[in-house]
Amino acid sequence: MRRVSNKAFIRKLADKSFRASRTRNIIAVVAIALTATLFTTLFTIGIGTIENFQQQTMRQAGGDSHGVIKDISPQMYEKMSQDPSVKECADTMLVAYSVENPEFLKRHVEAWYYPEYHYPHCFVDILDGRAPQKADEILLDEESMNLLGLELKAGQKVTLQMKIRSSADAVTERTFTVSGVTKSDPALNVGFAIVSEAYRGKYADELVYTYDQDGSTTGTVRMDVNFANSFSIQKKLERVIENSGYSSDETDPDYVASNANWAYVSDGGETDPVTAGAAIGGLILIILTGYLIIYNIFQISVIRDIRYYGLLKTIGTTGRQIRTIIRRQAFVLGFIGIPLGLIGGFIMGKAVVPRVMEVSAYGSDSVAVSMSPSIFIGAAAFSLLTIWISTGKPARIAAKVSPVEAVRFTEQSGRRKNKKRSTDGGKLWRMAFSNLGRNRKKTVLVILSLSLALVLLNSVFTVADSFDMNTYLKKFVSYDFQIANARYFGMDPYRGISEDEVQEEKLSESLIESCKEQDGFQEGGRIYETDGCVGLRKDSWKVPSYVPTDENGVAGKYWNGQFSTLNLMDEENYRVSFYGIEDFYYSRLEVWKGEKDWQTIREKMKTGKYVIATVEPDDNGFVEKEEVWLLPGDKVTLTYGGGQQREFEVLSVVKTDYWSMTNRLNGNFKFYVPAELFKEMASDQYLMSYGFDVDDDKEQAVSDFLTFYTTQEEPLMDFTSRQSYIEQFARLTQLFTLVGGILAMVVGVIGVLNFINTILTGIVTRQREFAMLEAVGMTKKQLGKMLMLEGLYYAVLTIVISLVFGSVFSVTALRLLIGGMWFLKYHFVIWPMAVTFPILLILGVLVPKAVLRFEKKKSVVEIITNL
């Protein structure tokens, strides 16, 4: 067969055919734009959120370096920095164990040395002044300057109370000139004081490396490392260590610790299967919704123009050329619709990303929405892929049809219809219902696209309705307000080691009394705690068989594959977190095993013969066997007061209330006794916190009072409230509803557009049929009624399918998903779909009516002879 160069002709033919299908083109452009909008929104939210999380995580990690080699000497740094795989590194150094100024109690300040060239990697942004050069010059962040009552200008004097090493008995006061003011990092409640290289030289004697002797981190080098790329960071760090003659094995004496910056998601970490599944599911959902409408548009378009393609076959056009014509038209529409979708999707994503960051643990006022080319390239590529897939079958149908088949083609499923005999004439409702079966595939696609939107909408509201505020609040707060020393809520928490140290971390009685005087105060209670005065005799506790022990029988746990024994107070006693509680707390205990009636618990505890033990539950509140070390009825002997001993029976085992009834540190053994018994065994100086309830209508007033009091009257005290967690929970729920609602809305618009397109093209392609019906006596009014009945059938079938599938999907997949999240409790919800059903019925009537009204009026003879 002779090859003819006719590509230009085919392009011209495709373009002319394209211009002749204006209605289809408009609908297709809108559909493609919506599909591209979905993809762009997904990519913008996904990539934008990941980049912001990564940026904020880098800030919390201390910089954007790939990894860090920790606690090494300057000599070790020099050796490791020569490794050929290291592209860039810095010898940052902690120059003081802590900065003890009382103004920094609520906001921890650290003193570091950073090389000036490394400032950008540590997010050091100088707002005023310059980097320190002299030994008595320093960079200080703006928030720390505010806390010290200084103007945000360089050149001012500041005195820092520096505890050089953890073992130091005294605090060293040093006066510096602020050479520059740096921007405070909103991702951290931590300030930084940065000294110069000259400072390291002047105080070299106190910055001597002693970590291998006493574990002091002052004077150690934190080696920030960057490699050629961020793949396999941890393995590269370990290779650098081993190449320098040291070990990355914790059991070796020459072990050197390192860790990859957890902000780099490319470091070979395992992907959460739920997250990965959700991402893949989202892509499949969007491709499916885009496919449904684009496929349907071109399927109907091919059916409408099937005689045209048959005529092209008669003049020698090949099937391949016809496929090219259809593909070319589709991609021309894509090049129009996709840019519109990219813009719309980016605008949507830009609105959502800040909300995602706002409710996250990384909340920041410096959220930037990514303009990464990968967003637009990825969205455009997936949109083009969807167009390619969607137009495949319609193109094949047009390519395969023969000229004779094209002339005789009618829109039906291809099944041979059974002949029906009727004596009462044709009924409009029967004719309308039969018309739905003419092309069952098209009918199924329309109903499926509409049902998918309804099911998605219902799923979004089902999950949103499953957000359980009581469960969420129960994890964080058991009463309206909690007051404590600011250290309790900070990075350097309450420990209760000794009566001397506790003076700087205990709660003041004056704040408690002030709270009691507030209008609306109901009741409250104190919690006392010590980590250093009470121990559990090892020989009084029978170690369960499933708890690992070392060769001496000391119990422990495995952390990252390494066995670590429990903390010991001395050779004969395990360290205990010992709590004294007042009556206010008994009703708030969540008992796992043992006595459950809180009034009985209170009465028995007053006898002084019992203790309450704790067990650590998982996020869903379940208790694993391996975490159970004591059971009700077990006898334990506690030591206190320099050798005194007292035997107790475990009355109940309660689930640990980490945020409301502990010092927020992970202790191995936690015991509760009445407050009076605690004072007898330890001291009344260990006052950790105070919780209380107020009248609902007084919560805001009490919150305002505490804000003022802890700022102006006793700035060393602080508080948290139930209302703050309620607001946090509300933001989380709103975020999910916003993101899911946008997705459901766009999918819904696609479904409605598909429905309108089906009715519209159905009327256009069936004009000959309608003319024949009019020729045998059907009026235009009857014709309109038949089409409205078809629209109603579409709506009713959609309602039935979405009800059935939505309900099944809700009680199976959604219920399973919701059950895996600790703050969700499944509730069967159907009202979002029910609200949309009347809208569907109205559309089913109005769309056919509107289409018929705007159709051009032609005579029956003209239609029959010209079509």
pLDDT above 70 covers what percent of the chain? 79
Place 863 in a pLDDT band, splitting at 50, 70 and 90.
very low
CA distance 342 to 40: 6
Q: Is residue 667 part of a domain?
A: yes
Average pLDDT over residues 773-779: 73
Per-residue pLDDT tens digits for 379-413: 888 888 878 887 787 778 777 777 766 655 555 54
Predicted pLDDT of residue 421: 55
Mean pLDDT is highest, among 251-265, 363-377, 733-747, for: 251-265
pLDDT above 90 covers what percent of the chain? 34
Place 765 in a pLDDT band, splitting at 50, 70 and 90.
low
CA distance 813 to 715: 50
Say how many C-beta atoms besides its own lie within 10 A of residue 837's C-beta. 16
Domain finish residue from 376, 409, 442: 409
Q: Is residue 421 part of a domain?
A: no
Predicted pLDDT of residue 215: 82
Q: Is residue 837 part of a domain?
A: no
Based on the fold, state whether residues 524 and 632 are members of the same structural domain: yes
Q: Is the Cβ–Cβ distance between 737 and 466 less than 8 Å?
A: no
Q: Is the Cβ–Cβ distance between 264 and 230 less than 8 Å?
A: yes
Based on the fold, state whether residues 322 and 224 are members of the same structural domain: no
**Per the structure, how many domains does the chain have?**
3
Across the chain, mean pLDDT equals 81
Average pLDDT over residues 429-445: 71
What type of residue sits at position 292?
Answer: L
Predicted confidence (pLDDT) at residue 856 exceeds the cutoff of 60? no
Based on the fold, state whether residues 305 and 202 are members of the same structural domain: no
User: Which of residues 32 and 692 earns the better pLDDT score?
Assistant: 692
Per-residue pLDDT tens digits for 449-497: 778 778 878 888 888 888 887 777 777 888 999 999 988 887 668 889 8
CA distance 704 to 712: 12
Q: How far is CA 67 from CA 55, 70, 91, 405, 632, in A?
A: 15, 10, 13, 69, 47
Per-residue pLDDT tens digits for 452-461: 778 878 888 8
Predicted pLDDT of residue 14: 62
Nearest C-alpha neighbor of 748 from the set 475, 476, 548, 450: 450
Q: Is residue 82 part of a domain?
A: yes
Q: Is the Cβ–Cβ distance between 719 and 481 less than 8 Å?
A: yes
Predicted pLDDT of residue 268: 43
Based on the fold, state whether residues 558 and 687 are members of the same structural domain: yes
Based on the fold, state whether residues 307 and 220 are members of the same structural domain: no
Based on the fold, state whether residues 228 and 364 are members of the same structural domain: no
Predicted confidence (pLDDT) at residue 527 exceeds the cutoff of 90? yes
Based on the fold, state whether residues 283 and 327 are members of the same structural domain: yes
Based on the fold, state whether residues 291 and 201 are members of the same structural domain: no
Predicted pLDDT of residue 283: 59
Based on the fold, state whether residues 83 and 205 are members of the same structural domain: yes
Predicted confidence (pLDDT) at residue 272 exceeds the cutoff of 60? no
Predicted pLDDT of residue 469: 79
Based on the fold, state whether residues 96 and 33 are members of the same structural domain: no
Domain finish residue from 260, 289, 316: 260
Range with the lowest mean pLDDT among 77-91, 141-155, 433-447?
A: 433-447
Based on the fold, state whether residues 525 and 379 are members of the same structural domain: no
Mean pLDDT is highest, among 193-202, 422-431, 760-769, for: 193-202
Per-residue pLDDT tens digits for 440-454: 776 777 787 778 778
Domain finish residue from 229, 260, 291: 260
User: Structural domain of residue 630, as residue ranges?
Assistant: 479-722
CA distance 443 to 313: 29
- φ, ψ at 471 (rounded to 5°): -65, -40
Largest CA distance in the chain: 113
Based on the fold, state whether residues 218 and 276 are members of the same structural domain: no
Q: Is residue 604 part of a domain?
A: yes
Per-residue pLDDT tens digits for 575-634: 999 999 999 999 999 999 999 999 999 999 999 999 999 998 877 778 888 789 999 999
Q: Is residue 852 part of a domain?
A: no
